[in-house]
């Protein structure tokens, strides 16, 4: 097994929103499996399915410190300059040094916060990909089984199931890539 893709630019599914398209295919496959009279024309993703059938299986579709800091309280010009000078005085400087003194904690905390938020977002995205991957495999397996069982179905039904199969295969392939599954 490879390693989970961490670089957004290398991901096939870069957000939860991108996974919604896969979920819509899984949902449509579920409807198809539960209603043997369902055809491509009944599907909200019918055009994508028709395109998938047209392309075929082998194509590999890719799916705040200033306010209280100085001698003049407030955010007036005098308050701001006084606050900056007081902060700068902490390191032997003036107002310009005060900007660095006051900005450093905000920048550091902002960076830490962004890092934590990004980590949490990426963890949730990975978990969502794992779940969608498992669901896509289960539906694709069921679609293949339905294709074998419905040999006497009309061409429109067979094309519909084939389209779902192709889209699910492409989604599984891209999810495998993102998850580092060989």
Residue 164's SS3 state is: helix
The residue written with tokens 């890539």 in the block is 177
- pLDDT value of position 80: 47
- pLDDT value of position 116: 58
Residue 5's SS3 state is: coil
Q: What are the distances in angstroms from CA 50 to CA 10, 36, 64, 88, 158?
A: 28, 18, 56, 67, 12
Q: Could you tell me which of 36, 59, 63 has the C-alpha nearest to residue 48?
A: 63
- pLDDT value of position 46: 77
Output the tens digit of pLDDT for each of the chain's 182 residues.
578 888 888 888 788 888 888 888 899 999 999 999 999 889 887 777 666 666 655 544 455 232 333 333 344 444 544 554 555 554 555 545 545 544 555 555 555 666 555 556 778 888 999 999 999 999 999 999 999 999 899 999 998 898 888 888 888 888 898 999 97
- pLDDT value of position 140: 94
pTM of the prediction? 0.66
């Amino acid at each position: 097994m490879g390693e989970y893709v961490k670089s957004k630019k290398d991901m096939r599914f870069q957000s939860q929103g991108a996974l919604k398209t896969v979920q819509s295919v899984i949902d449509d496959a579920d409807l198809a499996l539960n209603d043997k009279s369902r055809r491509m024309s009944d599907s909200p993703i019918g055009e994508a399915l028709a395109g998938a059938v047209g392309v075929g299986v082998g194509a590999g579709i890719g799916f705040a410190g200033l306010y209280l800091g100085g001698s003049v309280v407030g955010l007036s010009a005098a308050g701001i300059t006084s606050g900056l000078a007081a902060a700068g005085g902490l390191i032997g400087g003036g107002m310009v040094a005060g900007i660095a003194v006051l900005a450093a904690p905000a920048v550091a905390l902002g960076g830490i916060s962004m890092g934590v938020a990004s980590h949490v977002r990426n963890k949730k995205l990975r978990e969502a990909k794992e779940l969608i991957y498992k669901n896509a495999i289960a539906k694709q397996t069921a679609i293949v089984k339905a294709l074998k069982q419905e040999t006497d179905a009309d061409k429109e039904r067979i094309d519909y199931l084939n389209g779902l199969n192709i889209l699910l295969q492409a989604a599984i392939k891209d999810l495998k890539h993102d998850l580092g599954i060989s």
